[in-house]
């Protein structure tokens, strides 16, 4: 191999390395990423929280949510709901059915099924639940904040295979997990909503 071929090969190698590294400069320190605080979106939203009805009986809750989805001025109201979300399977690659509730054990036939719309989140709901819900759990109970109804109206929703009619809920913020050792009663757990 001649010197010219060696220089050309070295030059090509350096160009490939620079391209693959994104032209990162080694002499300049890279900024450190700090993890976002949990629930910052929920804590920073303006307005006071007011109590709505209890989550059971489901028919009364559903009627109240539909009647109060908008305030007197016609603006969409933000609700904070306790939600039980199931993963599709033990691999946790997709979300399964979701219901208003405080624990899987408390879900009976008197429940409101949700079609969760996470298009308003920066990080998908699936990714956030995979981070927050410890493995090997396939069910997660937590507080979600959002609009009653989809973020943007587009087509019809599909209902889960177990036959529950789903109701769209546009998730805007993901809150704290509901502590499984201190699960509140569904009969006393209330929906919260933001007052302007």
Identify the residue with better confidence: 181 or 12: 181
The three-class DSSP label of residue 5 is: helix
| Contact assessment for residue 111 and residue 162, using Cβ atoms and an 8 Å cutoff | no
CA geometry: angle at 160 spanning 156 and 161, to 5°? 125
Q: How far is it, in rounded angstroms, from Cα 19 to Cα 12?
A: 11
pLDDT in tens, 126-163: 999 999 999 999 999 999 999 999 998 766 555 445 56
> Would you state the structure tokens that stand for residue 51, as one six-digit string?
């109590």
pLDDT in tens, 30-45: 444 334 344 445 554 5
> Would you state the structure tokens that stand for residue 2, as one six-digit string?
């001649």
pLDDT in tens, 67-77: 999 999 999 99
Give the start-to-end residue ranges of the domains of the chain. 40-195
Instruction: State the chain's mean pLDDT as an integer.
Output: 81
| Contact assessment for residue 45 and residue 183, using Cβ atoms and an 8 Å cutoff | no
* Region of poorest pLDDT, from 17-26, 75-84, 114-123, 129-138: 17-26
pLDDT band of 49, cuts 50, 70, 90: confident
**What share of the chain in percent tops pLDDT 90?**
56
Cβ-Cβ contacts under 8 Å for 40 (sequence gap 6 or more): none
Cβ-Cβ contacts under 8 Å for 108 (sequence gap 6 or more): none
């Amino acid at each position: 191999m001649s010197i010219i071929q060696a220089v050309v090969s070295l030059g090509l190698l350096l160009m490939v390395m620079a391209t693959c590294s994104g032209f990162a400069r080694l002499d300049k320190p890279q900024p450190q990423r700090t993890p976002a605080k949990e629930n910052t979106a929920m804590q920073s939203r303006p307005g006071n929280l007011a109590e709505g009805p209890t989550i059971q009986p489901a028919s009364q809750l559903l009627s109240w949510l539909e009647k109060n989805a908008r305030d007197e001025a016609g603006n969409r109201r933000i609700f904070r709901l306790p939600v039980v979300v199931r993963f599709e399977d033990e691999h946790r690659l997709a979300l399964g059915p979701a219901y208003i509730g405080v624990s899987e054990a408390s879900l009976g036939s008197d429940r409101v099924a949700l079609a969760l719309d996470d298009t308003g989140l920066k990080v998908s709901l699936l990714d956030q639940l995979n981070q927050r819900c410890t493995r090997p759990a396939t069910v997660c109970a937590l507080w979600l904040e959002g609009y009653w109804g989809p973020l943007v109206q587009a087509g019809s929703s599909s209902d889960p295979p177990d036959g529950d009619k789903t109701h769209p809920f546009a998730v805007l913020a993901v809150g704290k997990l509901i502590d499984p050792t201190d699960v509140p009663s569904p009969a006393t757990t209330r929906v919260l909503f933001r007052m302007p």
